[in-house]
Amino acid sequence: MANALSRDWEHAVVTGGAGFVGSHLCAALLDSGAAVTCVDDFSTGRRGNVSALLDRPGFTLIQADVAAGFTVERPPDLLLHLASPASPADYLRLPLHTMDTGSIGTRNALDLAHRSGARFLLASTCEVYGDPQENPQDERYWGHVNPVGPRGVYDEAKRFGEALTTAHAEAKGTDTGIVRLFNTYGPRMRGQDGRAVPTFIRQALNGQPLTVTGDGRQTRSLCYVDDTVRGILAAAAHGMRGPVNIGNPAEITMLRLAHLVSELTGASSEIHFIARPTDDPAVRCPDITLARGKLGWEPEVDVEEGLRRTIEWFRTVLVR
């Protein structure tokens, strides 16, 4: 059923649909009545993330690497392109795969959308802003990225993806949109994926010290996954080309986050300070004026509530 933030899609292809964000999107699209084809190579995602969807009418799972080329059984009217390693631990382990996915994979996904007459939406990232010299970041900021630093493989693949998406729209008239997602968290993150929220929760639930990098004063803004999914679907439905920031502007230091996780889990863990990764951004906060104004979208779940839900889920799975 369509509402102000959605539209009745008939058939959506979600690349990277077996990942953390993608699996929530697949479920939301099925709930809205769309048929969904999830295309994933399981390089960082898990079949288990979509196993509950396999019995639902209209859901198809295809194992394929988008960079190697892929086909779907019937043309979609929406293609959400999320395939890409996303956590630093993953893209540092898979640097060439990350670049191939962001470049060749994005080209393949754009070509499929164009052939099908589908709307295409690229899941880009706040990492296109790099280690920003402006805070908060709005969509007009060009970013501050080190192309030859360790994070360059991800940041530059996404920047290339944005340029390619724009070129496809200009050269071929493809109906494209770009969402720049900021740090998202929630159920189905992997405890070992290296991102702060699952790391702290895993450590707290295992009675280990929480490892905060640097002095912990660096900030992130954390968006609960249900809010991110609503934002992505709103941008898809609106038809805007973007880019548009989708994130929660409530900025939090990593030290405060560690204390909050400790409190909410009841773990009373110690905090250990460890070395900060190279080129780790000092601040990260979205300006969401555009999303609020054009999409009528804003996050609804505050960090305490989102962490409670996430911790609840982590308690139900093995976190080792």
Active site residues: 154
If the CB atoms of residues 18 and 290 are measured against ligand NAD, the closer one turns out to be 18
Q: Closest approach of Cβ 270 to ligand NAD, in Å?
A: 27
- The span from the CA of 168 to the CA of 165, in Å, is 5
DSSP-derived secondary structure letter, 285? -
Structure tokens at 105: 């994979």
Phi first, then psi: what are they for 200, rounded to 5°? -65, -40
Residue corresponding to tokens 């994130």: 247
Site string for ligand NAD, 184-203 (x = CB under 6 A): x-------------------
If the CB atoms of residues 142 and 270 are measured against ligand NAD, the closer one turns out to be 142
Q: Closest approach of Cβ 224 to ligand NAD, in Å?
A: 11
21 binds ligand NAD (CB under 6 A): yes
Q: Closest approach of Cβ 1 to ligand NAD, in Å?
A: 25
Scan residues 93-122 and list those touching ligand NAD (CB under 6 A).
101, 105
231 binds ligand NAD (CB under 6 A): no
Q: Closest approach of Cβ 116 to ligand NAD, in Å?
A: 18
User: Which among 60-68, 261-269, 272-280, 294-302 is the span making contact with ligand NAD, rule CB under 6 A?
Assistant: 60-68
Q: Which residues of 200-233 are buried (b: 16+ CB within 10 A; e: fewer)?
A: bbbbbbeeebbbbeeebebbbbbbbbbbbbbbbb
- The span from the CA of 234 to the CA of 120, in Å, is 13
Residue corresponding to tokens 């540092």: 92
Q: Closest approach of Cβ 199 to ligand NAD, in Å?
A: 13
- The span from the CA of 186 to the CA of 135, in Å, is 25
Scan residues 122-161 and list those touching ligand NAD (CB under 6 A).
123, 125
Q: Which residues of 241-252 are buried (b: 16+ CB within 10 A; e: fewer)?
A: ebbbbbbbbebb
Structure tokens at 238: 């609106």
User: Which among 13-21, 165-173, 256-264, 265-273 is the span making contact with ligand NAD, rule CB under 6 A?
Assistant: 13-21
Total binding residues for ligand NAD by CB under 6 A? 30
299 binds ligand NAD (CB under 6 A): no
Residues contacting 266, CB < 8 A, separation 6+: none
Whole-Å CA distances, 97 to 14, 100, 146, 193, 277:
19, 5, 19, 17, 21
User: Which among 16-24, 196-204, 252-260, 312-320 is the span making contact with ligand NAD, rule CB under 6 A?
Assistant: 16-24
Binding residue (CB under 6 A) for ligand NAD from 37, 106, 108, 183? 183
Phi first, then psi: what are they for 303, rounded to 5°? -65, -35
Residue corresponding to tokens 């060439």: 96
Site string for ligand NAD, 75-94 (x = CB under 6 A): -------xxxxx---x----
26 binds ligand NAD (CB under 6 A): no
Q: Closest approach of Cβ 189 to ligand NAD, in Å?
A: 7
Cis omega (within 30 of 0) for bond into 198:
no
Q: How far is CA 33 from the centre of its chain?
A: 23
- The alpha carbon dihedral of 90, 123, 107, 63 has a sign of positive
16 binds ligand NAD (CB under 6 A): yes
Q: Closest approach of Cβ 75 to ligand NAD, in Å?
A: 19
59 binds ligand NAD (CB under 6 A): no
| Footprint on this chain of ligand NAD (rule: CB under 6 A) | 15-16, 18-22, 39-45, 65-67, 82-86, 90, 101, 105, 123, 125, 181, 183-184
